[in-house]
Amino acid sequence: MLKKLGFNILLLAFSGNLFSQTEEKHLKNIRQLTYGGDNAEAYFSYDDRNLAFQSNNKNWDLQCDQIFNLSIDAAAKDSNYKPTLISTGLGRTTCSYFLKDGKHILYASTHAANKACPENPAPRADHKYLWAVYSSFDIYIADLTGTITKVLTENPGYDAEATVSPDGNSIVFTSTRSGDLELWTMNIDGSNLKQITHELGYDGGAFFSPDGKKLVFRASRPKSEAEKAEYRDLLSQGLVMPTNMEIFTCNIDGSEMKQVTQLGKANWAPYFLPDGDKIIFSSNHDSERGYNFNLFTINLDGSGLEKITQLSNFNAFPMFSRDGKRLVFSSNRNNHGTRDTNLFIADWVK
């Protein structure tokens, strides 16, 4: 690394869609896969060739997030590549994931309740940052042509944030069906529903461990009576405040619940490393500005915290390929001063 006047100089080499960042020693051969809009929650197919993700790219005539199937090789070679639309193009969608057969993608959508995009939360006088929890979200399975083949949830209330187990037989998702934002599991056909978490707070964004025995997820845990009252009041309005969350793990039946991080601020978007011994996640805990998020890894016991990204002020939604060789994530790097957040893929260096 070069040094000048006592300050580290970060070197960024850009050639086509190839990046090199000396401070990001675990990431090699970084390639940009999307160009424009907000692109997020990109998750690998079981053969590691494709990504299911959500985008609101205006150049694709989108009014709000829709689900796409992206060929990694095609996107890496062509900045004008347009992935295949999987969702209906109606309502708002979120949280897509490939089924193991490689022929279907599940996702959550509001289209059954209203064809229009639901409204974003109105700005607040206190300027608190809020996420909408749309009660019209239900979980669907569609084939690769976009035809819906199964409706997994038709329960009143929020059902979303679904991901699939490594063996392809189980789904974990977040639901308000018991009155709070809790984790639930079900079989791949929607049967055998089980509630996994029970403590007051937002439990979401869960993923299975590589061996399918554990879950990792983000959770808010309001402590004081005032915090609990505010949480319940916001939830009754279909809102949550995601500014204070930590990373938790548990067995797939909810036993051995453990809080992994105690960092403060927002720690979220966790995913197990390929060996299952660490977690990668997004956090702003070391940021002076609340919106500056980087990727970190941590051991399951909460030790060994390491910062992975350095280059930009938003990095999130990391996922490893099934073979453990690549990492996909969302970042606002290389957006030329716009608000765009794009997908990037990198070779993982241990």
Contact 249, 214 (CB under 8 A): yes
Q: pLDDT digit string (tens) for 292-309?
A: 999 999 999 999 999 999
Contact 47, 33 (CB under 8 A): no
Contact 160, 177 (CB under 8 A): no
- For the chain, the helix, strand and coil percentages under 3-state DSSP, each to the nearest 5: 5, 45, 50
Q: pLDDT digit string (tens) for 242-270?
A: 999 999 999 999 999 999 999 999 999 99
Q: Decide which of 2.60.120.580, 3.30.70.260, 2.40.50.140, 2.120.10.30 is the CATH code for 36-307.
A: 2.120.10.30
Q: pLDDT digit string (tens) for 105-127?
A: 999 999 999 999 999 988 888 88
DSSP state letter for 211: T
Contact 171, 188 (CB under 8 A): yes
Average pLDDT of the segment spanning 209-218: 98
Q: pLDDT digit string (tens) for 123-170?
A: 888 888 999 999 999 999 999 999 999 999 998 999 999 999 999 999
DSSP state letter for 293: B
| DSSP reduced 3-state for 345 | strand
DSSP state letter for 59: G
Q: Quick one: tokens of 169? A: 């037989």
